[in-house]
Amino acid sequence: MEKTDGGVSPVVGVMLMLSVTVIIAAIVSAAAGGFSGTGKPAPSAILEVHFYENRSYGNFSVPAMTIEHISGSPLQTKDLSISTYFRNASGQLIKGYLLGEKAVPGDSAWTIFNPGTYSGVLFINDQDRFGSPLQSSGTGYKSWFGNASAVLMAGDVLVTPAQFCGPSQPHKNPGLNYILNFDTTDPANGYQAGAVITTKIVHIPSGQVIFDKDVVVV
């Protein structure tokens, strides 16, 4: 009886197909693992955000905002973005956004924070650690939000330059106005106690949201 290879060929073909499938799966798995390893993990931190209609600073008061780091991982402010959403008195939704170091100038009516002087829109309020946030240049400073040296740690508070916006009129806050993208002292905008500002803070490298709440102005 003659031998035949007719029954062997299909088996070999199936084995080759299985081998190729296994190799492809291994390559895909390795590639996926490589991609997942390149992402920066999101920090774990508890934050509190406050908006004030008029916060008192001795003999004057001014609209203000604070971001307090309650506990958790240190946060590189250069890795964070802040988005705000506010519906004004006319029903228009106004979006504000802060990413990186941004400077705002002073006003001639203010004693210390005057023209030719700059502050970060937000800065870490720790002058023992950083010195004064007021600078003669708007190119950046180590305590300003977005600076590589501005690392927010548990117990730290990010503030707008409200404490320097006085004592004389106008009692506006250029830092807060920049963040919210409107003039908080204009009554037509409806920024007052009881108003709601949706605030979202994102860790850019990981894409994770680390704060997302409706914050009521007090």
DSSP-assigned states of every residue in 29-62:
HHHHHHHHHHSPPPP-EEEEEEEEEEEE-SS-EE
Measured between alpha carbons, how far is 167 from 57 in angstroms, rounded to an integer? 9
Structure tokens at 33: 């693992």
pLDDT digits (tens, 9 = 90+) for 55-75: 999 999 999 999 999 999 999
- Answer positive or negative: Cα dihedral of 98, 101, 102, 104: positive
Q: Give the model's pLDDT for residue 31.
A: 46
Q: Give the model's pLDDT for residue 170.
A: 85
Locate the domains of the chain by residue range.
Answer: 1-38, 45-216
With 50 as the cut, is the pLDDT of residue 145 above it? yes
Percent of the chain exceeding pLDDT 70 equals 82
Percent of the chain exceeding pLDDT 90 equals 78
Cβ atoms of 162 and 63 within 8 Å: the answer is yes
Radius of gyration of the chain (CA): 27
pLDDT digits (tens, 9 = 90+) for 75-127: 999 999 999 999 999 999 999 999 999 999 999 999 999 999 999 999 999 99
> 191 by DSSP, 3-state: which?
coil
CA distances from 12 to 5, 9, 23, 25, 59 (A): 11, 5, 17, 20, 90
pLDDT digits (tens, 9 = 90+) for 72-85: 999 999 999 999 99
CA distances from 34 to 30, 39, 52 (A): 6, 10, 46
Q: Give the model's pLDDT for residue 18.
A: 46
pLDDT digits (tens, 9 = 90+) for 178-212: 999 999 999 999 999 999 999 999 999 999 999 99
State the pLDDT confidence band at 35, using cuts at 50, 70 and 90.
very low
User: What rounded mean pLDDT belongs to the chain?
Assistant: 88
